[in-house]
């Protein structure tokens, strides 16, 4: 198994939480992995990306080469679109449709979504609505992990264990809401995948 994954969003959207969940799930399953983050102006809502490389053999570089990403997981649609040069021809995009308009000239959302739809394996989800249904608007990132779970090459139980581990210190209620967000995200992608 080998997966090259690129996470894209802006500061404060939980990109590093997603990375933690995925790499800890991979570790539980005995995979090798490397992770790298690019933070930009993350403290001011700027671009954040994380490269994750998971394999059953040694991983020598922590950066996904251009044209090689099996998955782009976007918490913000414009940031997902920025990462298209990294997408492999057979790669998949799973992204939130809800923009984080952190610049005055943010393009019309429909233009962004139309551009994303040009790739045959693109799944657009309203992660804000999923998180709201789960009971916490801040669980959008975990809902997207659930939506991306069929494309990660990892067992759902490993991902759920990593979610519980990450949120353990925040209390049982917070952990449960995030598990629900994960489950709802997974259900939402099942509804749109063949």
**Domain boundaries along the sequence of the chain:** 2-192
How is 20-82 classified by DSSP, letter by letter?
HHHHHHHHHTT-EEEEEEE-TTGGGT-EEEEEEEEESS----SSPPTT-EEEEEESSHHHHHH
Give pLDDT, residue 190.
75
Give pLDDT, residue 39.
57
Give pLDDT, residue 192.
63
Residue listed under structure tokens 């353990």: 168
Helix (H, G, I), strand (E, B) or coil at 120: coil
2-10 vs 32-38, strand pairing mode: unpaired
Give pLDDT, residue 38.
67
Give pLDDT, residue 43.
55
Any bridge partners for residue 3, and if so which? Answer: 54
Give the CATH H-level superfamily of domain 2-192: Pyruvate-ferredoxin oxidoreductase, PFOR, domain III (3.40.920.10)
Low-confidence residues of the chain: pLDDT under 70: 38-45, 191-194
Report residue 139 as tokens: 């669980």
Q: Quickly count: other Cβ atoms within 10 Å of residue 174's Cβ.
A: 17
Q: Are 159 and 22 in contact (CB under 8 A)?
A: yes
Per-residue model confidence as pLDDT tens digits over 153-191:
999 999 999 999 999 889 889 999 999 999 999 999 876
Give pLDDT, residue 61.
86
| CA distance linking residue 6 with residue 51, whole number of Å | 5
Give pLDDT, residue 193.
57
Q: Which of 26, 33, 21, 27 is nearest to 61 (CA)?
A: 33
Q: Are 8 and 79 in contact (CB under 8 A)?
A: yes
Per-residue model confidence as pLDDT tens digits over 32-48:
998 887 655 545 567 88
């Amino acid at each position: 198994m080998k997966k090259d994954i690129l996470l894209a969003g802006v500061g404060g959207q939980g990109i590093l939480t997603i990375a933690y969940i995925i790499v800890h799930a991979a570790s539980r399953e005995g995979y090798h992995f490397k992770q790298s983050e690019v933070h930009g102006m993350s403290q001011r809502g700027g671009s954040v990306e994380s490269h994750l490389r998971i394999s059953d053999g040694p991983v020598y570089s922590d950066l996904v080469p251009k044209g090689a990403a099996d998955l782009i997981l976007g918490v913000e649609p414009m940031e997902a679109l920025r990462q298209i040069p990294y997408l492999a021809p057979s790669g998949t995009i799973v992204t939130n449709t809800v923009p984080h308009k952190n610049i005055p000239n943010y393009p019309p959302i429909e233009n962004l979504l139309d551009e994303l739809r040009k790739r045959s394996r693109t799944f657009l989800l309203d992660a804000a609505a999923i998180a709201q249904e789960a009971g916490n608007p801040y669980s959008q990132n975990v809902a997207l992990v659930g939506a991306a779970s069929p494309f990660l090459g990892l067992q759902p139980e490993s991902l759920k264990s990593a979610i519980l581990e990450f949120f353990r210190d925040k209390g049982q209620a917070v952990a449960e809401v995030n598990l629900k967000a994960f489950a709802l995200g997974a259900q939402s992608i099942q509804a749109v995948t063949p």
